[in-house]
Chains A and B, each alone.
Chain A
């Protein structure tokens, strides 16, 4: 699944509002680079939850794990994998 493509498109439409021809690289800092602010983060998290059917827990809402397409991709993959192994959608480790 192309997680990065989906997120890149979401950002182009909702954050950059489609008015700029802008390339977002896999490592472009989204939050610390000023592209997404705190309110934008609410939208991004809610998009990720709906699109990939995952659920975030508070400790995952971190600028260090959601700052680039690469990090988002890694986090979503990890969450999907843990769901498949039955670790519940919350992403919490069992035990």
Chain B
């Protein structure tokens, strides 16, 4: 692979794998360059330079250390992706601590359970700026900013130093038994992915990177850490427009975005409802996507809409971050599915011949699941003396060496890029005393991707309404996990051994989905669409 010149100092002759060091050296090299741009609700930009970002983060880190935060303590960020949240990320890392991003829109009890699970010492939260910092053990509030001792760039050397193998963050993801799992990622693991993207896509100080994913999503390591590594500008996508394609397309144009990384669903929305192809994006040179299958014909529309951009499909579960990738070939017509491609240089992948499962190893691998040694042991397998993660993804290998994604070996699904264990939805529904049984299936809705249908058997007919059932889900699950439809059944279809017959349910779901689309007419009554279904 040819070595490329980097445009600016501080832009990536990586000193090492410590994520906090990247910000330190870029702030020294290009202190006045814009690090983060955040648009407020009136559309005004708040620009934070590298010097300001580093000073704020180092001051806050000194505050943490003064408060007694030790290396590898967990600091939970219950924050939207904001400048303050990014300051908090680097403050945690500079203090040698581990940041745990939690989406503020998660249900309260899920947030509380996650804080307890990771035993967070500090919680940073709140919609206003600056956010509140609370010690979870003592209930004490900490002021935002530097402690009494002056801690500026020159004083930052007093902060403890992490090792590259130390955990940098924990990402909580859907767990099949109803409890989210914490994926522990080290500085080195994040670094492997970020350094590769910086090199492969030639990210430099003139780039304006946008990644609409929240901090709790592994995709967001791309923008905040390429900013720190390469001196690029991280342009925050206002959260309220992420799923409003028309505004998102306008944002990409007006903010002069050069690098984009999102789940395919968001790009599909921009192409369809946002009419992305009607405009030019002269500066947009890199479009990366990951998290779910991007259907070939839609990819073809994307490359036609932004012909000058390099488009690439990145693949890998949260546990491994990206391990394979595929650059979309010029003139891709979408008649064939887009492969997940070939291994990234830091990754090794291999196929389990018996099951067809992809096994992934290399530097980007997670350290393990937080506080779940048995689960960690279960998902790792030794291949040629190296630890590999069992992805649960069924793949095949084409003659040209590219891997193709075929499906899952378990009941995990992707909906709008979010990873969902169907078992977690079932556990949530069955948590209602008046619901006796619940089973969830996923169907392809033929347009926007995956729809989730939950089937429920209530204690007695008519005791649970749809609104109540959905509201119950919304109270216990993140909104993206709330089923699209909830269908009440008199009896759950069972196989001969008494187990729920998911194949029968999938067929029912598909029939229902088609019927729903067909019967888009006004609802004049309460006719059942299936003899087995009641309201």
Contacts and interface: CB of A to CB of B under 8 A. Distances in A.
Interface of A: 9, 12-14, 16-24, 28-29, 31-35, 37-39, 41-42, 45-46, 58-59, 61-63
5 contacts: A17-B485, A28-B467, A39-B416, A42-B243, A42-B269
Contacts of B474: 29, 32-34
B240 A59 contact: yes
A71 to B, nearest CB: 15
A87 B184 CA distance: 52
B520 A14 contact: yes
Given A16-B466, A17-B516, A34 B471 contact: yes
Nearest to A43: B273
Contacts of B243: 38-39, 41-42
Contacts of A21: 526, 535
Most buried by B among A22, A23, A31, A45: A22
Interface size class of B (residues with CB under 8 A): 35 or more
Interface string B511-535: 0100010011111001011000101
B535 A58 contact: no
Contacts of A24: 467
Nearest to B274: A42
B470 interface: yes
A73 B117 CA distance: 42
A34 B452 CA distance: 13
A59 B502 CA distance: 42
Nearest to A28: B467
B128 interface: no
Contacts of A29: 471, 474
A13 B479 contact: no
Interface string B478-514: 0110101101000000000000000000000000100
B172 to A, nearest CB: 20
A57 to B, nearest CB: 8
B523 A34 contact: no
B240 A61 contact: yes
Given A12-B523, A45-B244, 16 more contacts: A12-B522, A13-B520, A21-B526, A24-B467, A32-B479, A33-B467, A37-B484, A38-B479, A39-B243, A41-B244, A42-B244, A42-B273, A46-B273, A58-B251, A59-B43, A63-B240
B187 to A, nearest CB: 32
Contacts of A17: 485, 516, 519
Contacts of A28: 467
Contacts, number: 97
B465 interface: yes
A14 B465 CA distance: 18
Majority secondary structure, A binding face:
loop
Contacts of A37: 479-480, 482, 484
Interface in B233-286: 238, 240-245, 247, 251, 269, 273
Nearest to A22: B466
A62 B479 contact: no
B473 interface: yes
Contact of B470 (A14, A35, A42): A35
Nearest to A21: B526
B521 A13 contact: yes
A45 B243 CA distance: 11
Contact of B241 (A22, A31, A58): A58
A21 B523 CA distance: 9
A72 to B, nearest CB: 16
B381 to A, nearest CB: 36
Contacts of A22: 465-467, 535
A19 B515 CA distance: 10
A61 B535 CA distance: 32
B42 interface: yes
Contacts of A23: 465, 467
Contacts of B471: 29, 33-34
B533 A19 contact: yes
A4 B244 CA distance: 23
Contacts of B42: 59
Most buried by B among A9, A12, A61, A63: A61
A34 B482 contact: yes
Contacts of A16: 466, 523
B535 A20 contact: yes
The 4 closest A-B pairs by CB, nearest first: A34-B474, A18-B523, A38-B243, A34-B482
Contacts of A31: 479
Nearest to A24: B467
Interface in B430-473: 448, 465-467, 470-471, 473
